[in-house]
Structures are given as C-alpha cells and as structure tokens.
Amino acid sequence: MGDLIQLIVSGIATGAIYALAALGFTLLWQAAGVINFSQGEFVMLPAFAILLFIALGAPLWLAFLLACVAAMLVLGIGFKWVIVDPLIRHGVIPLVIATLGLSIGLKSTLKAGYSAEAHPFPSPFPGGQFSIADVNISYADIGTLVVAGFVVISLQLFLNRTVTGRAMQAVAQNTDAAKVLGIDVKRMVLYTFLINAVLAAVAALLVTPTYLAKFDMGDAIGQKAFFAAIIGGFNQTRGALLGGVLIGVLENLVGFYVSPAYKEGVALILFLVVIVFRPEGLLGRAEERKV
Amino acid sequence: MNRTRTFGLVAALIAFAVLPNFLKSYGVYLMTLFCVYLMAIFGLNLTVGYAGQMSLGQAAFLGIGAYQAAIFLKLGWPIFIVLPVAGIVCFIVGLILGFPALRVQHHYLAFATLGFNILVYLVMRNEEKVTGGTFGIPGIPRPSLFGYSLDGALPFFYFTFLSVVVLALFLWWLLRSPWGRAFAALRDNPMRATSLGINITAYTLLAFAIGAACAGVGGVYYAALVQFIEPAPFHFSASLTMLLAVIVGGSGRFFGPVLGTIIVVLLPEWLRFMQNWYLAVFGFAVVALMIWLPGGLLSIPERLRWKGAAK
C-alpha cells in the first residue's frame, strides 16, 4: 500500500511537469493554430541556459530568471517572428514540418557545437524525504508539485480573472469575433507565445534535475506533452493538466508493477484508447469542421 | 509525360544501373541502401504527398519488415515468400493503427505513428528472445533467386534496383488509376471530395496502409543488404528523416522521394567532414525551405516559370 501511494505521489509530480509543457502546447494551438513539434527542445534550451548562467557565476534562482527572460525573447518573440508569422498563412502542415526541422536543428546544433553528454543539474529543492506511516515522500516531489501547482493556478487566475486573460481566451475561441470587439489579436497571440516560453522554462527547472541536461532530453518530454494535450482534450487548458497527471501516474504504476522497459509506451496506449472512445479528449469539446 | 522527360528518365535509369560497376564495394553498398530507403520513402510519399496525412512511423514499418525478414531468412524461407509476408503484415498493422487515428482529423495520425514507432522500438530493444535486444540479429543470409545466388554486392544491387523500379511502376499505375486520382481530390479539397461520394477515411487509410507495406518490403531488402540488424536504424528519428526527405524533395510529386532520398541518404556520406553539423544545417534548412519554398525542391522550376509569367 505504501508503495502504491508513493508511486502515485511521485507520478503526480512528474505528471505536473508534463502538464506544464502540455499547457503551453495547448495554448499555442488554441490561440495561434500552431502545433509545435519542437516543444521538447523549448524545454531543453532553457535547461542549458540555466547551466550557462550558473557557470557564469549566478545563483540558481537568478540563473532561472535570466533563462526565463532569454526564453521569452528567443522561444517566444523570436520563434513567432521568424517561423510562425511567415508560415501560418500556408496552413498547418508546413508549420508542423518547420517545427520538426527546428527540433532537429536545435538538438544537433547543441550536440555538435557543445556536448553530446548528459550534464548534472542542481535541484532547486532540498534532498531527502519524509515519512508518514510507511509512506516515504521526497522533498523534491513536494517541491515540484508546489511550484507546478502555483504556476498552473496563477495561469488559470490570469486567464479567467484579468481583462487581458479573458481577451486571450476570446482570441482562442473566435479570432474574428475578438477582432470585432476591439481586442488587439496580435498582441494577445504574442502573449501566448511568451507564456509558452515561461512554462517551458519552469518545466526545464523542474524536470532537468532528474532527466539531466542532454541535447535529446526534449524528445521524451515533448512526446509526453503532445499525448497529454490530446488525452486531456486539445481545446481545454484543464485537459492538459489531467492528461499530464494521468500519464505521469500510469507510467509510474506500469514501470513498477508491469515492466520498467515498457514505461515509455504508456502514453501511446492511453492515447489510442482515448481517440477510439472519446476522440475530442477526456475534457474536450467536439469541434465542428468549417467548409 | 513528354518525349524529352521520358528520354531523360531512361538515361538516368541507365546511368544509375551502370554506375556501380565503377565503384568500390562501399559505393555499391550505398547505392543499394539508397534503393532500400527509396522504397520506404516512395511509400511515405503516398501517405504524405497524396493523402495529405503526416506519418512519423515509417521507420517502424521498415523495422518490422527487416526483423521479420531476418528471422525468416535465417530459417531458410525463400525470398518470394518473405517479401509478400512483410508487405501484408505491414499493410495490416497500418490498417489497425490508422483506423482509430484517421477517424478523427487534426493530424492525429502524426501522433499515433510517433507513439507506434516508440513502442516498436521498445519491443525491438526489450524482447531479446525474438529480436536479440540491443545485440540485434547477426548473420542474415542473402537470398537466392531461382537458384542464382545474390551473395555478391553487384547482383544484390541489381535485384534491389529492379525491385524499386517495379515498385515505382506499380505506384505510378496506382496513382493514374481512378482509384488513385481520388487521393489527389482528397488532399486538395477533402470537403468537396466527400460530397462527390469519396469515403475520406477509407481512402486515406488505404493510402497509409499501402505506404506502410512499401516500407515493410523495403525492410526485407535492408535486412538482406546489411545482414545484421539492431534497433537503432528504426528509431523514431529515422522516421522523421524520411518524412523530411519527402517534404524536401517535394511532397505529392512522383519523383520528389528520389531527390529527398539523395539528400538524406547519399549527401551525408559526401559531407562526412561536417559530421554532426550536417544534421544541424539540415534541420534549419528545412525551416528555411518551408518559409521560402513550401512545395519542396522540385517546385523550383514551376516557381521560376510562375515568376517569369508574372513579369
């Protein structure tokens, strides 16, 4: 029983990190119609940026803040200007291909230009664990949950309670109507890209202590993010949360009770089950296609 | 197709057939490998270029064909049985995988095939009893044809080369048939195609399954060529490279895969000195290509003509 609770708690913590990446992915899709296949690299790059700033002498918190700023500039504004803006009018597929190319380009540049090794990454939380009855829970898991939870709740509050947030939701739901209402659509879309960049940087801070900083660390987290987003429902931000946590917990359970070798396959099986029985995702709404 | 183009095509085929006679054994190996990947990429072009669906799992089908060929060829089965079995198995797996994904749009096939590729890779790596795990399966025999051994590099090259030509002719015929023309209708305007009575799901599913079967057949040649297989060449990143080969060459153009395969299979060999930077440049080049030339390299002549006409 103790094992089970432990696995579920650490699964929720891992799942919360997947959810952060998935959340950014969903927001981009809603606001700008962008499927970003380089989402994993968007997590990998801030991880290396943090390591770079630490090497330059900054403490972890400062390095993280600087990495957030860098991510907003490069992965937010830069990504939008250089890749999304020129491509969005060609439709979804060229943009998907471009982000696939970007993913290969970023990974390979880091591998060829810096290092193919895995680099250790400082944990923002104290080591060790505490015990209640026979359940051991690590401080890192609790810390991850608190930080991820805080980020997700603030984001929800921002989207639901502030004028800007509601305007962003309006743009996501119906761009034309939002424009008619006088909402600055371009600015709202830009905010979405900035939020995505920050979410990726937070995910990097939380995930890299266990994944280690490596050029291809984004593969796994990117894939989990896609599947989490679809499982939960592509057009619902809450869906990304549910999907992420579900994958995190089930992976842990399968890894422990079935076979650690097939842990990575969990997301796919869950995805196939969901699209067979509920194609719009667990929390999603069915979308009508436009003629 | 006009006279000059037919002549050019025949000349290119003859040149390609004669060239290996002047190459060292590694050159012949590379040209055979080129033919192997061309089979899989021709198949992928059917899915991506003609049916308009993204597939990120072509390497998994190549792998299924290769592992199955490795096991059966070692048991001494004749190539004439191994080939169709590989094709049919991949066709059926394609149907099973494609059905749930294609019922819903939104490019779900891309995610389903991506996950499928990861799963297949895990099976190859972990089921040591069948696949040999990370050690792979060594010592795969080259098949023989009507008692004529294909052990030599050149005979095997000609066998593979002829096979890829036959496959190309089959696809050419398929795309020219009324059945194939429905594909183009689907890709260009799915709504209109549906209203004309074309069953989108059925057609796209078949296109995907046929594309998968092509990769399965290619896998048989891969196993027989390399004579040793392990999971690495069938990793998801290989699928990604094949998808980009289709796009870079020009998706939905019959000869797009040929150009694309040259770029992803042969060019890295010539540019060995670039090492890891090759992929970096390739990745960013794909981004640039999408921005300036979304139709792929084979759309350059059209682009120039169109610009000339606009003046």
DSSP symbols for A256-270: III-GGGGGGHHHHH
**What is the pLDDT at residue B76?**
87
Contact between B279 and A112 using a beta-carbon 8 Å cutoff = yes
pLDDT band at residue A86 under the 50/70/90 scheme: confident
Contact between A108 and B280 using a beta-carbon 8 Å cutoff = yes
| Min Cα separation B294/chain A (Å) | 6
User: What DSSP state is assigned to residue A131?
Assistant: E
The tally of CA atoms less than 13 A away on the side-chain side of residue B95 is 8
Contact between B285 and A101 using a beta-carbon 8 Å cutoff = yes
User: Closest residue of B to A85, CA-based?
Assistant: B291
Contact between B282 and A112 using a beta-carbon 8 Å cutoff = no
From chain A, the residues in CB contact with B284 under 8 A are 101-102, 105, 109
Which tokens hold the place of B94? 């394609």
| Min Cα separation A129/chain B (Å) | 32
**What is the pLDDT at residue B130?**
84
The arithmetic mean of pLDDT across residues A43-66, rounded, is 93
From CA B16, how far away is CA B40, in angstroms rounded? 19
pLDDT tens profile B70-79:
999 999 888 8
From CA A44, how far away is CA A48, in angstroms rounded? 7
State the pairing for strand pair A129-132/A135-138: antiparallel
| Min Cα separation B276/chain A (Å) | 5
The arithmetic mean of pLDDT across residues A36-41, rounded, is 92
- Mean pLDDT, chain B, rounded, equals 87
From CA A76, how far away is CA A82, in angstroms rounded? 10
Question: In angstroms, how far is CA B88 from the centroid of its own chain?
Answer: 16
User: Closest residue of A to B285, CA-based?
Assistant: A101
From chain B, the residues in CB contact with A269 under 8 A are 119
Which tokens hold the place of B292? 């300036």
The arithmetic mean of pLDDT across residues B73-101, rounded, is 91
From chain A, the residues in CB contact with B294 under 8 A are 87, 90, 94
Match 């899709």 to its residue by tokens.
A29
Contact between A226 and B106 using a beta-carbon 8 Å cutoff = no
Please name the amino acid found at residue B285.
A
Domains of chain A from N-terminus onward: 2-125+135-277 (1.10.3470)
Closest partner residue to B111 (CB to CB) among A104, A226, A265 is A226
Q: Most distant CA pair in chain B: distance in Å?
A: 66
Question: In angstroms, how far is CA A101 from the centroid of its own chain?
Answer: 19
Name the least confident of A245-259, B30-44, B88-102, B183-197: B183-197
Where helices occur in B75-199 by DSSP H, the ranges are 79-103, 108-126, 128-131, 153-176, 178-188, 190-195
pLDDT tens profile A196-222:
999 999 999 999 998 889 998 988 898
The arithmetic mean of pLDDT across residues B71-99, rounded, is 92
Backbone angles phi, psi at B140, to 5 degrees: -80, 125
Which tokens hold the place of A158? 């921002």
pLDDT at position A290 over 50: no
Contact between A264 and B294 using a beta-carbon 8 Å cutoff = no
Contact between B287 and A101 using a beta-carbon 8 Å cutoff = yes
**What is the pLDDT at residue B242?**
93
**What is the pLDDT at residue B310?**
60
Q: Does A261 touch chain B (CB under 8 A)?
A: yes
pLDDT at position A13 over 70: yes
**What is the pLDDT at residue A178?**
87
Higher pLDDT, A62 or B196: A62
CA proximity to B45, closest of B276, B265, B264, B210: B210
Question: By percentage, how much of chain A surpasses pLDDT 70?
Answer: 98
pLDDT at position A130 over 90: no
Match 């089921």 to its residue by tokens.
B127
Please name the amino acid found at residue B23.
L
3-state secondary structure of A119: strand
Chain A and chain B share a number of CB contacts under 8 A equal to: 135
Please, which residues have CB within 8 angstroms of residue B283's CB and are 6 or more apart in sequence? A101, A102, A103, A104, A105, A106, A107, A108, A109
pLDDT tens profile A140-198:
889 999 999 999 999 989 988 999 989 988 888 888 888 888 888 888 889 999 999 99
pLDDT at position B33 over 90: yes
Bridge partners for A136 per DSSP: A131
CA distances from residue A125 to A14, A142, A201 in whole angstroms, order as listed: 15, 9, 16
| Min Cα separation A37/chain B (Å) | 10
Q: Does A89 touch chain B (CB under 8 A)?
A: no
| Min Cα separation A62/chain B (Å) | 30
| Min Cα separation A89/chain B (Å) | 10
**What is the pLDDT at residue A289?**
47
**What is the pLDDT at residue A85?**
87
The tally of CA atoms less than 13 A away on the side-chain side of residue A182 is 1
CB A48 within 8 A of CB A161: no
**What is the pLDDT at residue A287?**
59
Which tokens hold the place of B122? 């895990």
Backbone angles phi, psi at B11, to 5 degrees: -60, -45
Write out the H or E segment, with its range, that includes residue A205.
helix A185-211
- Chain B residues with at least one Cβ partner in A under 8 Å: 52, 54, 100-101, 103-108, 110-112, 114-116, 118-119, 122, 125-126, 191, 236-237, 240, 243-244, 247, 275-287, 289-291, 294
Name the least confident of A33-42, A87-96, B111-120, B179-188: B179-188
Q: Does A94 touch chain B (CB under 8 A)?
A: yes
Q: Please, what sign has the CA dihedral across residues B220, B222, B225, B230?
A: negative
From CA B286, how far away is CA B303, in angstroms rounded? 18
Closest partner residue to B280 (CB to CB) among A92, A93, A112 is A112
User: What DSSP state is assigned to residue B137?
Assistant: B
Which tokens hold the place of A268? 């796919």
